[in-house]
Structure 1
Amino acid sequence: MAGRGSAGIRERTYPDGRLEILTGTGLSAAAGLNAYIPMLLLGLLDRYTSLVQLPPEWAWLSNGWVLAIIGALLVLEIVADKVPVIDSVNDWLQTVVSPAAGGIVFGSGVSPETVRVSDPDAFFGSNQWIPVAIEIGIALAVHLAKMSVRPVLNATTAGTAAPVVSTAEDAASIGLSFAAVMLPVLVLVVLAVAMVVLWRVYRRARRRSRPADVGL
């Protein structure tokens, strides 16, 4: 197991914090698409590589039992998210899970000084809680966007789009997670590409639904 250090991502302590913010943003956005992928990735990289050093407060994320549980939940998420109707129910459940996962991966993936809560009064009395709240908000916003698009796609394609779109979301989550860890400057590029692709898919589905609406 990799040794514990003071930074979440090994040898990535940036004085200005800008790349650190990109790391947290990429991980949180990835959690919005799939709550379990970034958590599993960080835990595995910490346990089996030297790329990630989880802060002591987040060492539990690389525990074998925790990784097994996250892996099992990921399998259930992948299956449920590809079945029409069930995917919408799953999205409602993930409305709580995804923001929580966004906060976890932000706290474990960046410098722990940003999110250490040894004194809750001092924590909320300072500005330390702001980046945590922002990253939770990013995960929630991404998840809500995904959640609003999915019913439209299911309705206009008789559910056939569900597995395709879900697979694309999983791939984007993996890409964002790896970009956040390996090369944070790519986070903005991956986010931009994912947003453009999802928007184009959404617009195409909406155009297909218009003739049916007119004929009613």
Structure 2
Amino acid sequence: MTSTAGTLDFARDGPLLALVERLNLLSVALGLACLAGLNLYLTVFATGLTIHFHWIVLAPQYQSLSILGDPIVITISGVLFLLEFFADKIPWIDSIWDAVHTIIRPIGGALLAIQVLGHSTPMLDIVIVLLAGTTALATHTAKAATRLLSNTSPEPFSNIALSVGEDAVVIGGLALLHYHPVIALSIFLIALGAFFYFAPKILRANHRLGGAVRERSRPANRAQLIRCARRHQRRATQVDLRGM
């Protein structure tokens, strides 16, 4: 979230610099929305900490984000992140948590994007809200769908691994967004596109595999039932013979 003016002195106040700055601004706005769809509270909490302790220096066009460094914002987002940290690692509780946040994360992502823009035109605000909300919702959907799939597994370690991995992605994404916002947003969008492209194929493959396993188990189950019925029949015959 630093300015690119220092590296483009030859184009200072020129159209190229303005285009680069706008592209970076849009990338930061949508990038934060994308990460908010994954973990809203960690995104706000981590960004607020880095701003509050001056671990990063906000460029002039990003000064509107300084509100995230307010101690009240940091405290509230930190408490909520702590709750999510534990809820996100318990099977099925994480899916309930995701269901509750189906609206919260997209709205939070849209608000973060608007905050990045600062004072802009109403038309641009509406466009950014739509884009950021959609981006956050897409990330949230990918996260929630992955959790539902992992909850079908009998062991709980996959949930913990996914949760830790998601937190690491948020932290790494924020760092990349700070230094290379356009590259970060490109990676986020490519990852989302890959997920929504491959996820249905994986689900269909799992469904076919499960159906094949069930089909293979049916003859065995039938054979077991037949054997059990024959054993019961033999026992009943033996009892009748003894009674005679």
For this structure pair, what is the TM-score category when the shorter chain's length is used for normalisation? 0.7 to 0.9
Which residue of the partner structure matches residue 80 of structure 2? 73
CA distance in 2 between counterparts of 1:75 and 1:26 reads 23
How far residue 203 of structure 1 moved from its aligned partner, in angstroms, is 6.3
CA distance in 1 between counterparts of 2:125 and 2:175 reads 26
Q: Does 1:19 align with 2:24?
A: yes
CA distance in 1 between counterparts of 2:159 and 2:182 reads 30
CA distance in 2 between counterparts of 1:170 and 1:140 reads 17
Specify the code of the residue in structure 1 equivalent to 2:190. A
Structure with larger Rg: 2
Which residue of the partner structure matches residue 46 of structure 2? 41
Aligned to 2:18, the other structure's residue is in SS state coil
Give the one of 202, 212, 215 matched to 1:214: 212
Q: Which moved more, 1:25-34 or 1:181-190?
A: 181-190
| Residue pair 2:2, 2:179 contacting (<8 A) in 1 also | no
How far residue 38 of structure 1 moved from its aligned partner, in angstroms, is 1.8
- 5 Å-filtered alignment, 1:120-131, equals 123=122, 126-131=123-128
| Residue pair 2:110, 2:128 contacting (<8 A) in 1 also | no
Higher relative contact order (CA 8 A, sep 6+): 1
Q: Does 1:95 align with 2:102?
A: yes
| Count of aligned residue pairs for this structure pair | 197
Seen in structure 2, the aligned counterparts of structure 1 residues 149 and 92 have a Cα distance that, compared at 3 Å, is same
Which residue of the partner structure matches residue 62 of structure 1? 69
CA distance in 1 between counterparts of 2:32 and 2:182 reads 13
| Residue pair 2:40, 2:109 contacting (<8 A) in 1 also | yes
CA distance in 2 between counterparts of 1:168 and 1:65 reads 27
| Residue pair 1:29, 1:102 contacting (<8 A) in 2 also | yes
Seen in structure 2, the aligned counterparts of structure 1 residues 193 and 10 have a Cα distance that, compared at 3 Å, is same
Alpha-carbon displacement from aligned partner over 1:124-161 (angstroms, at most 9, x marks no partner): xx343111221111101110122122212221454442
| Residue pair 1:32, 1:138 contacting (<8 A) in 2 also | yes
Give the one of 190, 205, 210 matched to 1:192: 190
Specify the code of the residue in structure 2 equivalent to 1:28. A
CA distance in 1 between counterparts of 2:172 and 2:197 reads 18
Seen in structure 2, the aligned counterparts of structure 1 residues 59 and 23 have a Cα distance that, compared at 3 Å, is closer
Aligned to 2:152, the other structure's residue is in SS state helix
Which residue of the partner structure matches residue 120 of structure 2? 114
Which residue of the partner structure matches residue 135 of structure 1? 132
Which residue of the partner structure matches residue 30 of structure 1? 35
| Greater fraction of residues in helix | 2
Aligned to 2:89, the other structure's residue is in SS state coil
Q: Which runs of 5+ in 2 are unaligned?
A: 6-16, 215-244
With structure 2 as the length reference, what TM-score do the two structures score?
0.68
Alpha-carbon displacement from aligned partner over 1:51-99 (angstroms, at most 9, x marks no partner): 226645x544222122112111111112111110100100011112211
Q: Which moved more, 1:164-173 or 1:191-200?
A: 191-200
Q: Percent identity?
A: 24
CA distance in 2 between counterparts of 1:67 and 1:182 reads 22
Seen in structure 2, the aligned counterparts of structure 1 residues 143 and 196 have a Cα distance that, compared at 3 Å, is same
Q: Which runs of 5+ in 1 are unaligned?
A: 1-8, 116-122
